[in-house]
Amino acid sequence: MSPAPDRNARDRILQAAEAVALREGARHLTLAAAAKEAGVSKGGVLYHFPSKHALLDGMLQRFVETVGTEIETHRARFRDLANPTLRAVNATMRARMQGPDSVRIALVASHAESPSTNAKLREVFANHWERIKAETADPEGALTIWCAIEGLQFFSLFDVWPATDEQAPTVADRIEALIDALPAATRSA
């Protein structure tokens, strides 16, 4: 059979791009820098991603898919509890809190290149919201809790967390307690 498209190299480039953006900043994420970090040539990067825009899109998609599947996995564990999606989001973010979230940097890099082209991203957030909303009798309470989860990520990503490192998981615990107190959806009829 003909050689299968090397998903492996593609992913390695994506990870390399994340690493560069995290270490040097989104402005220094260049095709050459990503290539060097991934151990391929610039031509190799352009083969897998025909333009820089495509690379950014790939990063964004990797973020969405990675986080998405993790949320899905956690959600399965919580399927018998109230507000399983919100719980899953919190569990996912907690697990991602060792060091800055490497896939999340895609969000910053993409926004730095073109703030207006995050329509797909907004859609993803909106989809999560639909599920979270459907699972609770207090949507705005859920929204507030979600804000706390994302705020924790914000502190971590920009490396401005003001408290001690041990307090971060504790905050995740407190958020979980808030979810415990959040009313489940009333099953009408």
Partner DNA sequence: CCGACTGTACCGACCAGACGGTACAGTAAA
Partner DNA sequence: TTTACTGTACCGTCTGGTCGGTACAGTCGG
Residue count at the site for DNA (CB under 7 A)? 26
23 binds, among DNA, a second copy, none (CB under 5 to 8 A by kind): a second copy
Q: Which is nearer to a second copy, 9 or 151 (CB)?
A: 151
Q: Which is nearer to a second copy, 38 or 146 (CB)?
A: 146
Which range of residues in 37-45, 66-74, 81-89, 166-174 is near DNA by CB under 7 A? 37-45
Binding interface with a second copy (CB under 8 A): 22-28, 107-109, 111-115, 118, 121-122, 125-126, 128-129, 133, 139-141, 143-155, 158-163, 167, 170-171, 174-175, 178
Q: Which is nearer to DNA, 43 or 162 (CB)?
A: 43
The CB-of-49 to DNA minimum distance in angstroms stands at 8
Confirm if 186 and 135 have CB atoms less than 8 A apart: no
Two structure tokens written together for 131: 């599920």
If one counts every other C-beta atom within 10 angstroms of the C-beta of residue 49, the result is: 21
Residues whose CB is less than 8 angstroms from the CB of residue 58 and which lie 6 or more positions away in sequence, other chains included: 10, 14, 49
140 binds, among a second copy, DNA, none (CB under 5 to 8 A by kind): a second copy
Two structure tokens written together for 123: 């859609």
- Residues of this chain that interact with DNA (CB under 7 A) are 1-6, 9, 28-33, 35, 40-44, 46-48, 50-53
